[in-house]
Amino acid sequence: MEKEIFAELTKLKKEMVGSLMELVKVPAISPESGGEGEGKKSKFVEELCGNIGFDRIYHYDTFSHGVKRPNLIAKIKGKKSESRLWVIAHLDVVPPGELKLWKTLPFEPIIKNGKIFGRGTEDNGQDLIAALYAIKAIRNLRIVPQRDICFAALSDEETLSKYGMKYLVKKGIFKKGDVFLVPDGGSPNGSLIEVGEKSLLWLEIATIGKQCHASMPEKGANALEAGSYFICKLKDLRKTFNQKNPLYEPSYSSFTPTKRLANVPNINTIPGSDTFYIDCRILPCYKISEVLRFLEKIKKEVEKEKKVRIKIKIIQKEKATETERQISIVKGLRQVVQKVCRVKPKVRGVGWGTCAAFVRRLGYPAVVWSKVERTAHQPNEYAKIENLLTDSKVFALLFSSF
């Protein structure tokens, strides 16, 4: 059966590449990021689904910012219906960013050296198309999958999933027995099978000092200097929360200052306010509240020493999630990955966040896998054609055997 599946997908390769190129031409940037939403792209995907011969196609659409946020689901029946395998892909893409960093136009895909360049090629076009053609291949070969396959193309993954995966969770459409494959993250050789995501904590640190003329610093309280002092003290945080877990990549918790707001426009004024942000990715052995308590301690020290006031605001907080490593979907995927990619699979946790977290929180098993070059969100994002084919083989084998 394996040989027939691989041959069928190799036959479909040209069509697959064509479909990915067409898909990338439809931008689908969320309205939160200044785009027109996922409506057009959803229509394109629905047409593709129509040619594949799903048993049922339905929607859980919603609205935000005056535009439709489509969530498309296409289903084929398997041998046993009491368990469903969900494949969760997303329609939306992040904005291209600075255009001068792109060598080609982001929404006019081109092929060069076996790679397709364009925004959304790898994230998440490659695996959306690979999953669809995996289903097309087993349909063409009249293979009935082991269980029902529900393919989902969702909105709003790049901006917190409120109108995508979280919306589906709220609607209560998932049920006991469901398992999830989220092909939206992985490694270049395909060995990484992601089963856990660290806790995520985003903080805003606002320092209020006293603005004054830079020639008389003693009359003010320099908020920039105090804020920077806070940043230097993050090393104490790293020293305290220093446990390592080799089942995670990277194996440690990270506490990283990132964005900083502009302050005074001129050089000869001491800034009276300073705001910066910290991105924390915390191993599941630590509670988020412990980290917050430690930051509170740093805050008090800086306030006292630098004579400023500091406000810590939580921007986003997500608790770590894990799927058991011994569960059958993990075993099934391991076998298939080993066979197709010829690598020893590594079952690991990571610092990034995907849609898998929302269903893991409900107690459902979810694995994240794809063979990717990790060009997502970068200028000159690309998908390797070879990866497109490999991923479709992995999915087709999984659908027919698991």
* Nearest distance in Å: CB 90, Zn ion: 6
Q: Is 184 a catalytic residue?
A: no
By CB under 5 A, tell whether 373 contacts Zn ion. no
The residue annotated as part of the active site, out of 157, 184, 197, 373, is 157
CA 396 to chain centre: 23
Is 373 catalytic? The answer is no
Nearer to Zn ion, 209 or 349 (CB): 349
Is 123 among the residues that bind Zn ion (CB under 5 A)?
Answer: yes
Task: State the minimum distance, in angstroms, from the CB of residue 332 to Zn ion.
Answer: 23
Nearest approach, Cβ of 348 to Zn ion (angstroms)? 18
Which range, of 3-11, 122-130, 259-267, 307-315, touches Zn ion by CB under 5 A?
Answer: 122-130
Q: Which CB, 387 or 400, lies closer to Zn ion?
A: 387
Query: In a 3-state reduction of DSSP, which class is residue 176?
Result: coil
In the complex, minimum distance from the CB of residue 56 to Zn ion, in angstroms, rounded to a whole number = 25
Q: Which segments of 126-275 does DSSP mark as H helices, in order?
A: 126-140, 165-171, 223-232, 234-240
Query: Could you tell me which stretch among 47-55, 98-106, 178-186, 255-263 binds Zn ion (CB under 5 A)?
Result: 178-186
Residue type, 355: C
**Among candidates 208, 210, 254, 201, which has minimal Cα distance to 230?**
208
250: Cβ–Cβ under 8 A, 6 or more apart, which residues?
A: 351
Quickly list DSSP for 44-93. Answer: HHHHHHHHHT-SEEEE--EEETTEEE--EEEEE--SEEEEEEEEEEE--B
Q: Segment contacting Zn ion (CB under 5 A): 45-53, 123-131, 139-147, 295-303? A: 123-131
Kindly tell me which residue out of 122, 178, 184, 373 binds Zn ion, with binding defined by CB under 5 A: 184
Query: Rounded to an integer, what is the distance from CA 392 to the centroid of its chain?
Result: 20
Measured CA to CA, the distance from residue 43 to residue 23 in angstroms comes to: 10
What part of residues 236-255 is at the interface with Zn ion (CB under 5 A)?
Answer: none
Cβ-contact 226, 328 below 8 angstroms: no
Q: Is the dihedral of CA 20, 25, 31, 37 positive or negative?
A: negative
Residue 40: C-alpha distances to residues 96, 109, 132, 247, 357 (Å)? 18, 17, 18, 40, 27
Which is catalytic among the residues 92, 156, 184, 194?
A: 92
> Which residues share a beta bridge with 67?
64
Residue 123 or 156 with smaller CB distance to Zn ion: 123
Q: For Zn ion, which stretch binds (CB under 5 A), given 145-153, 176-184, 209-217, 326-334? A: 176-184
Q: Which is nearer to Zn ion, 165 or 298 (CB)?
A: 165
> Considering the rule CB under 5 A, would residue 148 count as an interface residue with Zn ion?
no
2-24 and 39-52 helices, crossing angle to 10°: 150
Give the E-state strand segments of 215-362 in sequence order. Answer: 248-249, 254-260, 269-270, 273-282, 309-318, 321-322, 346-350
Closer CB to Zn ion, 124 or 273, in the complex = 124
Place of tokens 């109108």: 163
Least distance from Zn ion to the Cβ atom of residue 122, Å: 8
Rounded to a whole number of angstroms, the minimum distance from the CB of residue 124 to Zn ion is 4
Give the interface size with Zn ion as a residue count (CB under 5 A). 3
C-beta of 147 vs 281, nearer to Zn ion: 281
Among 42, 71, 124, 275, binds Zn ion (CB under 5 A): 124
Residues 127/367, Cβ–Cβ less than 8 Å: no
Minimum distance from CB of 382 to Zn ion (Å)? 15
Nearer to Zn ion, 137 or 195 (CB): 195
Query: Measured between alpha carbons, how far is 133 from 116 in angstroms, rounded to an integer?
Result: 17
Q: How many CA atoms lie within 13 A of 324 on its CB side?
A: 8
Stretch that binds Zn ion, among 7-15, 120-128, 171-179, 298-306 (CB under 5 A): 120-128
Nearest distance from residue 157's CB to Zn ion, in Å? 6
227 or 353: whose CB is closer to Zn ion?
353
Give me 157's structure tokens.
Answer: 């993954």
d(CA 148, CA 73) in angstroms, rounded, equals 12
Q: Which stretch binds Zn ion (CB under 5 A): 181-189, 193-201, 363-371, 387-395?
A: 181-189
Catalytic residues: 92, 157
Residue numbers at the binding site for Zn ion (CB under 5 A): 123-124, 184
